[in-house]
Amino acid sequence: MAKDEDEIIENVTDGEYKYGFVTDVTTETIGKGLNEDVVRLISKIKKEPEWMLEFRLKAFRHWLTLEVPTWAYLDLPKIDFQDVIYYAAPKVNEDKSWDDVDPEIKDTFNKLGIPLEEQMALSGIAVDAVMDSISVKTTFKDTLAEKGIIFCSFSEAVLNHPDLVQKYLGSVVSYRDNFYAALNSAVFSDGSFCYIPKGVRCPMELSTYFRINAAESGQFERTLLIADDDAYVSYLEGCTAPQRDENQLHAAIVEIIAKDNAEVKYSTVQNWYPGNKKGEGGIYNFVTKRGLCEGFNSRITWTQVETGSAITWKYPSTILKGDNSSSEFYSVAVTNNYQQADTGSKMIHIGNNTKSTIVSKGISAGHSSNAYRGLVKVAKKCKGARNFSQCDSLLLGDKCGAHTFPGLDVQNPTAIVEHEATTSKIGEDQLFYCNQRGISTEDAIGLIVNGYAKEVINKMPMEFAVEAQKLLQISLEGSVG
Amino acid sequence: MSVEKINKDFQDLFVQGKELLYNGVNDLMNEKREIAFNRFIEGGIPDKKNENYKNTDLSKIYERDYNVVLNYHRQDVDLNDVFTCDVPNLDTHLVLTTNGWYYARNHELSGLPDGVIVCSLQEASIKHKDLFEKHYGKYTISDNGVTDLNTAFAQDGYFIYVPENVILEKTIQIVNLMRANADLMSFQRNLIIIGKNSQAKFMVCDHALSSVNFLSNNLTEICAEENAVVDYYQLQSQTLKCSLVDSVFVNQEKNSNVLNHTVTLYGGLIRNNIFTKLSGENAENHTYGMYLTDSVQHVDNYTYIDHASAKCFSKENFKGVLDDKSTVGFTGRIEVRPDSQQTEAYQNNNNLLISDDAKVFTKPQLVIDADDVKCSHGATVGQIDEDALFYLRSRGIGAKEARMMMVFAFTNEIIGKIRIEPIRERVAQLVEKRLRGEDSHCDACKLQCNK
Amino acid sequence: MLEIKDLHAKVGDKEILKGVNLVVKPGEVHAIMGPNGAGKSTLSSVLAGREVFDVTKGEVHFQGKDLLALPAEDRAREGVFMSFQYPVEIPGVNTVNFLKTAVNEHRKYKGLEPLAAGAFLKLMREKQALVEMDAKLMNRSVNEGFSGGEKKKNEIFQMAMLEPKLSILDETDSGLDIDALRIVSQGVNTLKTPETSTIVITHYQRLLDYIVPDVVHVLYDGRIVKTAGRELVAELEEKGYDWIKKELEEH
């Protein structure tokens, strides 16, 4: 029985990465390595105003003083930051007229299931497609503009909406925040910008699709999302990369600001190339995501399904500053083969009567290591804070690890903060129960894993939920998919 | 004063006091002393940069100028006369230590079963060399300067050995007394070995008899051999001027069962390090703790349970009530190693905040590298349940009394884990007194420890 | 015994009691009925002294004393007992210890010595028999892990121990099977004396078959809108509450 089970788990966890193809497209890159000149060059290529360059340089100089953080439960190989290409852009015509876009690029996104022609586009989703260092196309821009919504690439925002960018850039994630935030702030190339004006409910899902294509390049994008008073937006983020033997670096920043009564839902399906079965290749994913519930009664929801990347280092967090503001974090992180993930959330309660919820589900298979790391902090003057955290880990196989490192820092007696965590493997009795009802062990594992993740996946917008479920199958199932 | 200065002072002390430090003990102890000292020089006193000492900055307490006693000092009174601890219905073997040393005038313990040894560590290192060498320093983990500092500077403490197949009926009560005329830093090192199929119970009390500043660095190694059953109760009741860094390293062989129970009633700064290694299969460990803090007290419990073998069970529960400006830290790490299948490990930490200025930082950690496990941890920070409070009041129980009952009920779970009834009752009584704001010294004790 | 005049109470910004008037004389049993959300449970909570409710207007006199000026525990000691609709579980607080404290606090209030252990146990055994309370439950924490029926029995058992002058039974029948209902009612009836009064708050007729009221009130939208004899119970059971609403609208 034991042997059978091992075999089955192996089969089940033996899915293939389907997005590993490379697009043959002319790419403009600058040489490997990082110094002030590179930072200046990036800024120059992007025709940025002086203040933007200043911001980058400040960040770069600060970055030089920092060391790679080592506190995460990751076996971190030494990364040579001088051996990375910091800017790579597929050739796109200046005016970005859709007809002029290289058909290879169009084809790439079609293959990924993200058609960029609006008539073919997924109904009700506006997409900003980012390939390597630049945004190649943003759909439905005009439709959104009618409502006063700004949704464009970050580069365009710097040029067309400098006031907004200057006001909010770095206001939630300072370039001083951490090593990778400093790096990103110095060299970020593009990303998405979104502003929802007062009282506007964004009529469609907004989405950014990130694709790394060029070899040996890093991707450093930035997302800045502002929901003004009473605004609402649901935002989706997806990512894939080609299959390559060497590791590639991805260090992104996401900043969200929610004003009075605003609500932002931010969903991520992260499927960067995770490396092969032997643990070769794959993306190193170091991401700083943070939201600021600045206004009264504002709300930020993070939902993430993390299946990709060789290494993930990511802690979407919320600062609950406005009274009555609330935030939720729902996460499913799957690691297989030699993947490593150290992910979780921080909830910083500052405003009165703030509420937060953390639900994290880790699933480890193969030789992987999956860690939850979190912090719930209640500031001294914050009255009536409430938090509930639940972190569960599921182990498939005996070579993988599941780790939980939550922290509760409470400085006000009116807070109620609760944390629960469990670690278990799929119950023999559950499998047997399924078997007895005629379900094969293989299918049963699939069923149980999906059931296990359901609580989180259900929080995603429909289209993404379906994709997320498929992804879970690809990363774990094989036979079940 | 900087950490560098503290470390430098210790270096000077070691070099100057070398002759005294090396005096009167076995060579192995001095070999380990040398190694530990060299390691200490590299690492130094853990400060805030050390992840495991984030909640407790030891440099603050070590920067005070203390006397260090590198040889045994006679007390000017007979401690047996001034100290009696009489727990009703509990007959104990009483052992005193003073300022880190085994008390020279301890009475001969009568009625000990054959082969049981209770003596000073110094004596054991020479008289019972083989036993001593087999166990001394084998269970400590030096992942920080505190352990190394103890190994480098500790000269004495108690040694207890229970041979195979002996059931020690009477509880051994160890009372660590701090008594001095001037601020004092002490190091105490203890070793407890419980042989195969044997059983023993310990009650350790930490008291301060003088109102000077004390800083104690105590380290106890406990080895429970196959099938051994050990109860280790510790009651910490000192003064605001006392700082205590207490480390207990437990090693458990096959089928052994250890209960480790720490009640922190009072003290200035208390840092408990409790390391448990489940080395043999089917070992069972229970680690419980309770802390009641007020004023500007600081209590930090760090626990590490290492499931190094399969089929072991561990249960851990720490509960605390925080008043005034007190601060509390809790770190509970459970590690399940790759081949430790069929592990069960449970951990809980619950905190009750009853003042506006108290702070708590709790950090449970599960590190699990085996798949056939049942592990969970939970942590909560909250207040007294208002519904329950109203229910009590609606039955005519006054608000203050009702609050007391609720707090006592909260701590009751931990008190209930004590397996020896007279001790359980005594602790319950002390806790209740403590919660009522009375001095929590024992009724029978002539000393007014907490005054 | 009890006199409520123009009682208004709110929770947060929501006004729930909008002028309740009620007089209960010694020895009387009053039933307060009404649809869900009428304010029945709020009324009992306000009388027992629950602080989440703000009394904005009105007076309550209990044996001549201003009840609203007293904290919850003093109301209990004066002789007001509330049987909770949802008795609270209190982990860690032993039932015997809880009762002993409550009984002795009552005695202290009256200037009496605390009850000796033996006398207390005797009293407890006596009262336990009254509601057929399982002695094993006494060693558990208050209400913890009790079944719905056991919880309600425990309420009446506590009532027996504390010998109140006025008992308020808040939806005591909810969650009771027929046997438990009989036991609980019998307990209440046995404890009844010509000097003590009872207010039975309920949604249904069921309980009132066992505990027969002298006066029946209908509480609707925060006011007592109808008061009659026990015959009103049957009428309500037959016609529901809608006819009262209609009647009100017509006026």
Which tokens in the block code for residue A376? Answer: 């719930």
Total-model pTM: 0.82
Angle between helix axes C178-191 and C117-130 (nearest 10 degrees) is 130
Considering its fold, how many domains does chain B have in total? 1
Could B394 and C48 be called an inter-chain contact, meaning their C-beta atoms sit closer than 8 Å? yes
Chain B: list its partners (3+ Cβ pairs within 8 Å): A, C
pLDDT for residue C206: 83
- What are the distances in angstroms from CA A425 to CA A1, A392, B341? 16, 11, 11
Q: What is the ipTM of this complex?
A: 0.81
Decide if B266 is inside a domain: yes
A256-294 tens-digit pLDDT: 999 999 999 999 888 888 888 888 888 889 999 999 999
Lowest mean pLDDT among A34-38, A246-250, B435-439: B435-439
Could B393 and C49 be called an inter-chain contact, meaning their C-beta atoms sit closer than 8 Å? yes
Q: Give residue A1's pLDDT band: very low, low, confident or very high (50, 70, 90).
A: very low
Distance CA A419, CA B366 (A): 13
Could C102 and B396 be called an inter-chain contact, meaning their C-beta atoms sit closer than 8 Å? yes
Question: For residue B65, with 0-12 CB atoms within 10 Å meaning exposed, 13-18 middle and 19 or more buried, which class applies?
Answer: exposed
Decide if C130 is inside a domain: no
Question: For residue C13, with 0-12 CB atoms within 10 Å meaning exposed, 13-18 middle and 19 or more buried, which class applies?
Answer: exposed
Cα angle C174-C175-C179, degrees, rounded to a multiple of 5: 105
Q: pLDDT at residue B448 above 60? A: no
Alpha-carbon distance A55 to nearest alpha carbon in chain B (angstroms) = 30
Alpha-carbon distance B405 to nearest alpha carbon in chain A (angstroms) = 19
The helix/strand/coil state of A417 is: strand
Are C103 and C120 in contact, with CB atoms under 8 Å apart? Answer: yes
Considering its fold, how many domains does chain C have in total? 1
Decide if C21 is inside a domain: yes
Backbone angles phi, psi at C245, to 5 degrees: -60, -45
Lowest mean pLDDT among A119-128, B179-188, B429-438: A119-128
Comparing CA positions, the residue from B175, B190, B177, B105 lying closest to residue B140 is B190
pLDDT for residue A136: 65
Chain C: list its partners (3+ Cβ pairs within 8 Å): B
Are B331 and B361 in contact, with CB atoms under 8 Å apart? Answer: no
Could B394 and C102 be called an inter-chain contact, meaning their C-beta atoms sit closer than 8 Å? no
Q: Which residues of B touch A10 (CB under 8 A)?
A: none
Question: For residue C12, with 0-12 CB atoms within 10 Å meaning exposed, 13-18 middle and 19 or more buried, which class applies?
Answer: exposed
pLDDT for residue B60: 82
Please check whether residue A104 touches B, CB under 8 A.
no
Which tokens in the block code for residue A223? Answer: 């997302």
Chain A: list its partners (3+ Cβ pairs within 8 Å): B
The helix/strand/coil state of A411 is: coil
Decide if B445 is inside a domain: no
Q: pLDDT at residue A477 above 50? A: no
Instruction: Please name the residues in contact with B405: beta carbons below 8 A apart, sequence gap of 6 or more.
Output: B392, B397, C93, C97, C98, C101
Please check whether residue A417 touches B, CB under 8 A.
yes
Could B381 and A404 be called an inter-chain contact, meaning their C-beta atoms sit closer than 8 Å? no
pLDDT for residue A325: 97
- The residue segments making up the domain with residue C75 are 2-89+165-250
pLDDT for residue A222: 92
- Among B387, B394, B413, the strongest candidate for a mutation testing the C interface, having the largest count of C CBs within 10 A, is B394
- Among B294, B381, B386, B403, the strongest candidate for a mutation testing the A interface, having the largest count of A CBs within 10 A, is B381
Which tokens in the block code for residue B225? Answer: 């051999």
Q: What is the 3-state secondary structure (H, E, C) of chain B?
A: CCHHHHHHHHHHHHHHCHHHHHCCCCHHHHHHHHHHHHHHHHHCCCCCCCHHHCCCCHHHHHCCCCEECCCCCCCCCCHHHHCCCCCCCCCEEEEEEECCEECCCCCCCCCCCCCCEEEEHHHHHHHCHHHHHHHCCCCCCCCCHHHHHHHHHCCCCEEEEECCCCECCCEEEEEEEECCCCCEEEEEEEEEEECCCCEEEEEEEEEECCCCCEEEEEEEEEEECCCCEEEEEEEEECCCCEEEEEEEEEEECCCCEEEEEEEEEECCEEEEEEEEEECCCCCEEEEEEEEEECCCCEEEEEEEEEECCCCCEEEEEEEEEECCCCEEEEEEEEEECCCCCCEEEEEEEEEEECCCCCEEEEEEEEEECCCCEEEEEEEEEECCCHHHHHHHHCCCCCHHHHHHHHHHHHHHHHHCCCCCHHHHHHHHHHHHHHHCCCCCCCCCCCCCCCC
Closest CB from B358, B373, B380 relative to A417: B380
Decide if B405 is inside a domain: yes
User: Assign residue B401 a region: left if phi > 0, alpha if psi is -120 to 50, beta otherwise?
Assistant: alpha
Query: Which residue from B minimizes the CA distance to C164?
Result: B395
Comparing CA positions, the residue from B168, B173, B103, B161 lying closest to residue B133 is B161
State the CATH number of the domain containing residue C182. 3.40.50.300
The helix/strand/coil state of C69 is: helix
Q: Give residue B174's pLDDT band: very low, low, confident or very high (50, 70, 90).
A: very high
Distance CA A209, CA A235 (A): 11
**Which amino acid is it at A382?**
C
pLDDT for residue A4: 56
Are A422 and A390 in contact, with CB atoms under 8 Å apart? Answer: no
pLDDT for residue A18: 67
Comparing CA positions, the residue from A132, A19, A457, A469 lying closest to residue A267 is A457
Alpha-carbon distance C97 to nearest alpha carbon in chain B (angstroms) = 10
Please check whether residue B386 touches A, CB under 8 A.
no
Distance CA A82, CA A187 (A): 13
Q: Give residue B205's pLDDT band: very low, low, confident or very high (50, 70, 90).
A: very high
Q: Which residues of B touch C91 (CB under 8 A)?
A: 409, 413
DSSP A281: S
pLDDT, averaged across chain A: 83
Please check whether residue A414 touches B, CB under 8 A.
yes
Decide if B122 is inside a domain: yes
Query: Which residue from B minimizes the CA distance to A405?
Result: B365
Are A40 and A34 in contact, with CB atoms under 8 Å apart? Answer: no
Q: What is the pLDDT along chain C (251 residues), one digit of tens a residue?
A: 999 999 999 988 889 999 999 999 999 999 999 888 889 989 999 998 888 889 999 999 999 999 999 888 889 889 999 998 888 888 878 888 888 888 888 898 899 998 888 899 999 998 888 888 888 888 888 888 888 888 888 999 999 999 999 999 998 887 788 888 888 888 889 888 999 999 999 888 888 888 999 999 999 989 999 898 888 888 888 888 888 888 877 77
The helix/strand/coil state of C138 is: helix
- The residue segments making up the domain with residue B157 are 3-435
Q: Which residues of B touch A397 (CB under 8 A)?
A: 371
Which tokens in the block code for residue A337? Answer: 């083969």
Q: Which residues of A touch B382 (CB under 8 A)?
A: 415-418
Q: What are the residue ranges of helices labelled H in A130-259?
A: 141-146, 154-160, 162-168, 179-187
Decide if B111 is inside a domain: yes
CB B339: neighbour CB atoms within 10 A?
Answer: 12
- Among A342, A358, A396, A419, the strongest candidate for a mutation testing the B interface, having the largest count of B CBs within 10 A, is A419
Q: Given the structure tokens 């590993």, which residue do they identify? A: A20
Beta strand pairing call for A247-258 and A221-227 = parallel
Instruction: State the average pLDDT over residues B114-142.
Output: 94
Decide if B441 is inside a domain: no
Could A419 and B378 be called an inter-chain contact, meaning their C-beta atoms sit closer than 8 Å? yes
CB A111: neighbour CB atoms within 10 A?
Answer: 13
- Among B397, B406, B425, the strongest candidate for a mutation testing the C interface, having the largest count of C CBs within 10 A, is B397
Instruction: State the average pLDDT over residues B362-374.
Output: 88
Decide if B387 is inside a domain: yes
The length of chain A is: 481
Could C102 and B397 be called an inter-chain contact, meaning their C-beta atoms sit closer than 8 Å? yes
DSSP A217: B
Could B394 and C82 be called an inter-chain contact, meaning their C-beta atoms sit closer than 8 Å? yes
Please check whether residue A411 touches B, CB under 8 A.
yes
Distance CA A288, CA A177 (A): 9
Q: pLDDT at residue A430 above 80? A: no
Closest CB from A408, A414, A422 relative to B376: A422
Could B375 and A418 be called an inter-chain contact, meaning their C-beta atoms sit closer than 8 Å? no
B218-233 tens-digit pLDDT: 999 999 999 999 999 9
Please check whether residue A422 touches B, CB under 8 A.
yes
SS3 content of chain A, % helix, strand, coil (to 5): 25, 35, 40
Distance CA A384, CA B386 (A): 14
**Which amino acid is it at A416?**
I
Q: Give residue A57's pLDDT band: very low, low, confident or very high (50, 70, 90).
A: very high
pLDDT for residue B99: 94
The length of chain C is: 251
Decide if C141 is inside a domain: no
pLDDT for residue C97: 81
Distance CA A356, CA A324 (A): 10
Are A240 and A268 in contact, with CB atoms under 8 Å apart? Answer: no
Alpha-carbon distance C49 to nearest alpha carbon in chain B (angstroms) = 8
Please check whether residue B358 touches A, CB under 8 A.
yes
Decide if B281 is inside a domain: yes
Cα angle B24-B29-B30, degrees, rounded to a multiple of 5: 75
- Among B51, B354, B371, the strongest candidate for a mutation testing the A interface, having the largest count of A CBs within 10 A, is B371
Q: Which residues of B touch C102 (CB under 8 A)?
A: 392, 395-397
pLDDT for residue C55: 93
